[in-house]
Structure 1
Amino acid sequence: MGEWNDDQWLWNFRMSWQTFIELCQWLTPVLRHHDTRMQCALTIEKRVAIAVWKLATPDSYRSVGQQFGVGKATVGAVLMEVVRALNALLLKRVVRVGDLDAAVEGFAAMGFPNCFGALDGIPLPIRAPDHSGGRYINRKGYHFVVLQSMVDSCGHFQDIYVGWPGSTHDACVFRNSGLCCRPQAETYIPQREIPLGDTTTVPLCLVGDAAYHLQPWLMRPYTGHFTDSQERYNARHNHAQQVVERAFERLLALPPGTPRPGPPKHPSGCGGLLHTPQPVGKQGGGLRAGLGTGGRNSLPPAIRRSELPAPPGQGLGPGGPKGVL
């Protein structure tokens, strides 16, 4: 079996060889299996590769099984095993606010101290579903799904949650999202409070519009008749809330202040967000230790060079790069 370079790893697995090996090392305590008298266990590298390939591509279970020389039932079992391991071991380690201090300082400069993010939701237009289409119609009469996002002070997306029907209230979407549970469990952000007076402390918080319910870590604007202090608070809150609105405008490629879009003019579905893992570092590599050159632990035995998708700017024909499968 030949070797892939980093470009080919990024093209097929959405990560470099070095990132893949580091991921395997993190998951080894959970994914290690022992051989039996009946058969050899799949190596950790192959288990992770099957799961990453399925998550990185739109291939079916049958197609992934043919690529790696296993049955489609094995693909499904391995995928769930790896995903559970990722959630158990790496969720708290990897999924968190990027630069918490910078986010807090950015919102403090806007006049809203001890805030680490702005929260809002927008409708994304979709084609009318074949079943239960009425649930996806919002107050404007179009078919939508709701995209909920949290951004930092620079407008960088830190958390997204999408898929609820357009008729669903923003507060309901938030209650069912992982973002609502993580601050409550104090796993998404570290515990940090600032003193307010002699006896009161204020925790880190999000800002959201009036659709959300007030929480110790979620601040919403005042409604109704305002006092002078409430009006000043709303002005600062609105300034901080505009960060997520401008982020949505950039996401939808709209000039600032443009009304949000109606139904799609072409039946091609709605916009989406794709996060592609970045490589840890530059290191050439290929399918090496634990992947074998054939048999149950080869990875993948059914791929031929002519069948591989070409990396950007490269061809895989007779004159293409050497060292591919």
Structure 2
Amino acid sequence: MEERARHHLKWPEPERMEQIKSELETACRLPNCCGAIGATHIIMTLPAVESSDDWCDQESNYSMFLQGVVDHERRFLDIVTGWPGSMTMSRLLKFSGFFKLCEVGKRLNGPVKMSAERAEIREFIVGDCAYPLLPWLMTPYEGKGLSASMASFNAAHKAAVSLASRALSQLKGSWRILHKVMWRPDKHKLPSIILVCCLLHNIIIDCGDELHSDVALSDHHDPGYKEQKPARGFSWTNFEREHIKPFALL
């Protein structure tokens, strides 16, 4: 599966990306948005001889992280796994190949759009407040007393971000090996298991198939986990946000 089905999980070519952006703009009112990012914990039980605080997350579970970027159909466009669940989501992003490619301009580097106010809108993805605000990653406004335009942006942003959480819920609901506690898995094989489940998830979408109605999906892919905040050095004020956001919501 890893070798023969990898074409089902790849970063879109420019023509395909334009279709994704068009669909997301229609559905979520976010021009030039290329997808949503999210992460989940794959819980496992380690033998006592292998137990390590590195793999112990904030809920005292031994777990491995899965980070995914999804499109409007909840198809995985990029995944990162193999990192310990003790990491924060912002730190996981920073150590990913996806982050490095975006930072050097090899991803999310497509055509720039112009807003009605003549502001440049570069390609970007959306993530919740666990992620840092970056020129190519938009997070929601935080705090009380938000203006009408801020609240409008947050509503559109929430609709787009929900695609990632729904994709991860569907992944765990479809392939139950990822939803329950894995009993003493080989940490070297677990990333392959996760990858294959993501490939199967995409194959279902690519074939136009649907999940059986009896498949139960959890309301949240990480029940019991508290909302994370970006690590120190990844915090932005709303004033700083205004100078980095690529557009004002139309």
**TM-score (structure 2 length as normaliser):** 0.65
Helix, strand or coil: the match of 1:253? helix
Aligned equivalent of 2:157: 237
Change beyond 3 A, Cα 1:198–1:148: same
Distance of 2:172 and 2:10 partners within structure 1: 25
Distance (Å, rounded) in 1 between the aligned partners of 2:30 and 2:117? 20
CA drift of 1:227 comes to: 2.3
Is residue 189 of structure 2 the alignment partner of residue 272 of structure 1?
Answer: no
> 2:125 maps to which residue?
206
Match of 1:224 among 124, 143, 147: 143
The one-character-per-residue Cα deviations of 1:3-60 (angstroms, maximum 9, x if unpaired) are xxxxxxxx9x748xxxxxxxxxxxxxxxxxxxxxxxxxxxxxxxxxxxxxxxx9xxxx
- Equivalent runs, 1:99-248 vs 2, <5 Å: 99-109=16-26, 110-128=28-46, 130-131=49-50, 133-197=52-116, 199-225=118-144, 226-248=146-168
C-alpha distance after superposition, 1:170-225 (max 9, x if no partner): 00000010111112222234431111245520101000110111111110011111
Structure 2: which amino acid aligns with 1:143? Y
Number of aligned residue pairs = 184
Computing the radius of gyration from Cα coordinates, the structure with the larger value is 1
How far is 1:132 from its partner? 5.3
Greater shift, 187-196 or 206-215, is seen at 187-196
- Maintained 8 Å contact 1:123/1:145: yes
Amino acid in the other structure paired with 1:204: E
- Quote the offset at 1:153 in angstroms: 1.0
Structure 1 unmatched runs, 5+: 1-10, 16-55, 57-93, 255-259, 279-325
Identity fraction in percent: 24
Please identify runs of 4+ aligned residues in structure 1 that moved more than 6 A: none
- Aligned to 2:87, the other structure's residue is in SS state coil
CA contact (8 A) 2:132 2:139 kept: yes
What residue number does 1:74 align with? none
The Cα of 1:123 is off from its aligned counterpart by: 0.4
Structure 2 CA distance for aligned equivalents of residues 199 and 111 of structure 1: 17
Question: Which residues of structure 2 form unaligned runs of 5+?
Answer: 204-250
Distance 1:199 1:238 in 2: 25
- Aligned-residue CA RMSD in angstroms? 2.9
Greater share of residues in strand = 2
CA–CA separation in structure 1 for the residues paired with 2:43 and 2:117: 50
